[in-house]
């Protein structure tokens, strides 16, 4: 629910309660005043009618004046009492106030009833209801227009800023550009957001520089260690156990080297460094990589089928696109099963690489995330696909993964 609607709802609910209370107060007060007045009038009328009765000019005028001859006289109290009179013409009863008194004239006893209608009270109720109704309707209408206007005036900059925030990224160099507001709360929010975003961007940059520096420092150290290992391996007279230990340490070092190189490349891709572009014939690259890995695939008895019927030329950086093809094809070998298949299809603008393999157990949406290893195989750095995705993003190539009928399928759509 929008803030303005929420506020309006509170406002309306409270208004309704207030209106009901005000209505009741006004109605009962007016009612009391009017009834009192009516009764006063009734008493005066009663006295007047008594006088006129003695002079003999009075006639029956039901239901307002009723004169009946009676045998017995009851002592009249002169009190005002309530009564309902039924009108057969309108088939309903109407409320009246009456005073009953007994008079004596020419040796006869008479009962004298003077009445007055209370129908005004009902009129009062309906009049009040109409007045309140109109006022309430006006209030709602005004509220509606006020909301519309304030949404435009107050919330347009707010929504503009919200949109800016949604699109903001600490990775991008563009700072936040918020619209000023004369409203104190909003302008405070803006300044808080500015300082937050500046801090975040600064810290992100520092962290990025740190990891880049770290990677480069590591690279030099790895280079030294690697060279020393190679010298150690030259030593004649190493026993088998030492050689094996040395070999496995050396193997891990190579993996560390690979991981570090991947991180450096990822950092470069993320910082959107400029990469030199060339016109590349994609099928040349695909064929080159396939031929390079065919023998490796054969040791696993994998069958590679290439189906290329497109001479797609793309403009991009050659080493980067080679990395993409290389990572995808080496993955299709690594995560394959014995006697499996790899099908590579290039048609139109689409490259499709599919291979047999154990199903991917993770979330498909996270398939291209870093360190999201498809299997527990220790030989994957977990960065190969993240690099592929980043390169595709760089050139706006669409890439997708799905698993279907025992095949892992990766599709790249080159624009």
Partner 1 sequence: MKILIIEDEKELANSVATFISQDGYVCNINNNFSEAEESINLNDYDCAIVDIMLPDGSGLDIIKLIKKIQPKCGVIVVSAKNSIDDKITGLNLGADDYITKPFHLSELNARIKSVIRRRNFDGKNQIIINELKIDVDKREVKVSNKIIDLTRKEFDILLFFISNKKRVITKEAITEHIWGDDSNTFDNLDFVYTHIKNLRKKLSEAGAKDYINSVYGVGYKFSVE
Q: Could you say whether residue 249 binds partner 1 (CB under 8 A)?
A: no
Out of 57, 90, 240, 338, name the contact with partner 1 by CB under 8 A.
240
Nearer to partner 1, 100 or 329 (CB): 329
Report d(CA 5, CA 321) in Å as an integer.
53
Q: Could you say whether residue 307 binds partner 1 (CB under 8 A)?
A: no
Q: What is the per-residue binding string for partner 1 in 360-379, x denoting contact by CB under 8 A?
A: -----------------xxx
- Contact in structure between 359 and 341 (CB atoms under 8 Å): no
- Token pair of 277, please? 């572009």
Q: What is the per-residue binding string for partner 1 in 311-330, x denoting contact by CB under 8 A?
A: ------x-x---x--xx--x
Q: Could you say whether residue 411 binds partner 1 (CB under 8 A)?
A: no
Out of 231, 237, 404, 405, name the contact with partner 1 by CB under 8 A.
231
Report d(CA 321, CA 391) in Å as an integer.
8
Out of 321, 384, 385, 414, name the contact with partner 1 by CB under 8 A.
384
Binding positions for partner 1, 282-301, rule CB under 8 A: 292-293, 295-296, 298-299
Q: Could you say whether residue 254 binds partner 1 (CB under 8 A)?
A: yes
Out of 5, 150, 195, 227, name the contact with partner 1 by CB under 8 A.
227
Q: Could you say whether residue 224 binds partner 1 (CB under 8 A)?
A: yes
Q: Could you say whether residue 9 binds partner 1 (CB under 8 A)?
A: no
Smallest separation, CB 412 to partner 1 (Å): 18
- Chain centroid, CA 384 distance in Å: 35
Q: Could you say whether residue 223 binds partner 1 (CB under 8 A)?
A: yes
Q: Could you say whether residue 258 binds partner 1 (CB under 8 A)?
A: yes
- Contact in structure between 313 and 281 (CB atoms under 8 Å): yes
Nearer to partner 1, 201 or 385 (CB): 385
Nearer to partner 1, 101 or 326 (CB): 326
Nearer to partner 1, 287 or 317 (CB): 317
Q: What is the 3-state secondary structure (H, E, C) of the chain?
A: CCHHHHHHHHHHHHHHHHHHHHHHHHHHHHHHHHHHHHHHHHHHHHHHHHHHHHHCCCCCECCCEEEEEECCCCCCCCCEEEEEEEECCCCEEEEEEEEEEEEEECCEEEEEEEEEECHHHHHHHHHHHHHHHHHHHHHHHHHHHHHHHHHHHHHHHHHHHHHHHHHCCCCCCCCCCCCCCCCHHHHHHHHHHHHHHHHHHHHHHHHHHHHHHHHHHHHHHHHHHHHHHHHHHCCCCCCHHHHHHHHHHHHHHHHHHHHHHHHHHHHHHHCCCCCCCEEEEHHHHHHHHHHHHHHHHHCCCCEEEEEECCCCEEEECHHHHHHHHHHHHHHHHHCCCCCCEEEEEEECCEEEEEEECCCCCCCHHHCCCCCCCCCCCCCCCCCHHHHHHHHHHHCCCEEEEEEECCEEEEEEECC
**Number of residues in contact with partner 1 under rule CB under 8 A:** 49
Q: Is the dihedral of CA 127, 133, 136, 137 positive or negative?
A: negative
- Contact in structure between 321 and 394 (CB atoms under 8 Å): no
Q: What is the per-residue binding string for partner 1 in 181-220, x denoting contact by CB under 8 A?
A: -----------------------------------x--xx
Q: Could you say whether residue 338 binds partner 1 (CB under 8 A)?
A: no
Q: Could you say whether residue 355 binds partner 1 (CB under 8 A)?
A: no
Nearer to partner 1, 49 or 302 (CB): 302
Q: What is the per-residue binding string for partner 1 in 78-117, x denoting contact by CB under 8 A?
A: ----------------------------------------
Among the listed ranges 32-40, 162-170, 228-236, 406-414, the one in contact with partner 1 (CB under 8 A) is: 228-236
Nearer to partner 1, 41 or 227 (CB): 227
Q: Could you say whether residue 342 binds partner 1 (CB under 8 A)?
A: no
Smallest separation, CB 198 to partner 1 (Å): 30
Comparing CA positions, the residue from 226, 246, 225 lying closest to residue 235 is 246
Which residues lie near partner 1 (CB under 8 A)? 216, 219-220, 222-224, 226-228, 230-231, 233-234, 238, 240, 243-244, 246-247, 250-251, 254, 257-258, 261, 264-265, 275-276, 292-293, 295-296, 298-299, 317, 319, 323, 326-327, 330, 333-334, 377-381, 384
């Amino acid at each position: 629910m929008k803030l303005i609607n929420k506020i309006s709802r509170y406002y309306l609910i409270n208004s309704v309660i207030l209106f009901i209370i005000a209505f009741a107060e006004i109605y009962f007060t007016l009612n009391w005043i009017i009834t009192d007045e009516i009764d006063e009038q009734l008493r005066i009328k009663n006295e007047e009618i008594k006088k006129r009765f003695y002079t003999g000019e009075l006639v029956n005028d039901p239901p307002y004046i009723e004169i009946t001859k009676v045998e017995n006289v009851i002592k009249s109290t002169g009190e005002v009492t309530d009564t309902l009179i039924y009108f057969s013409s309108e088939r309903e009863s109407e409320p009246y106030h009456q005073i009953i008194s007994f008079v004596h004239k020419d040796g006869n006893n008479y009962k004298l009833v003077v009445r007055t209608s209370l129908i005004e009270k009902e009129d009062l109720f309906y009049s009040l209801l109409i007045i309140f109704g109109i006022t309430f309707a006006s209030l709602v209408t005004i509220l509606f227009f006020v909301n519309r206007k304030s949404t435009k005036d107050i919330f347009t900059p707010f929504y503009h800023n919200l949109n800016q925030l949604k699109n903001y990224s600490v990775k991008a160099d563009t700072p936040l550009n918020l619209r000023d507001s004369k409203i104190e709360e909003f302008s405070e929010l803006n300044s808080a957001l500015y300082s937050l975003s500046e801090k975040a961007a600064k810290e992100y940059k520092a962290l990025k520089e740190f990891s880049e520096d770290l990677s480069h420092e590591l690279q030099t150290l790895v280079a030294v260690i690697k060279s020393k290992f190679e010298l150690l391996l030259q030593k004649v007279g190493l026993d088998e156990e030492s050689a094996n230990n040395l070999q496995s340490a050396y193997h891990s070092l190579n993996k560390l080297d690979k991981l570090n190189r991947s991180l450096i490349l990822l950092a470069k891709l993320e910082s959107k460094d400029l990469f030199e572009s060339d016109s590349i014939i994609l099928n040349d690259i695909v064929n080159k990589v396939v031929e390079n890995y065919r023998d490796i695939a054969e040791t696993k008895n994998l069958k590679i089928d290439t189906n290329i019927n497109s001479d797609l030329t793309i403009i991009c950086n050659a080493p980067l696109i080679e990395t993409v093809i290389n990572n995808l094809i080496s993955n299709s070998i690594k995560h394959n099963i014995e006697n499996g298949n790899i099908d590579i299809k290039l048609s139109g603008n689409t490259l499709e690489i599919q291979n047999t393999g154990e199903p991917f157990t993770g979330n498909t949406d996270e398939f291209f995330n870093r360190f999201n290893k498809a299997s527990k195989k220790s030989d994957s750095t977990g960065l190969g696909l993240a690099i592929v995705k980043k390169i595709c993003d760089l050139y706006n190539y669409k890439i997708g993964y799905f698993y279907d009928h025992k095949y892992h399928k990766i599709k790249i759509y080159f624009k």
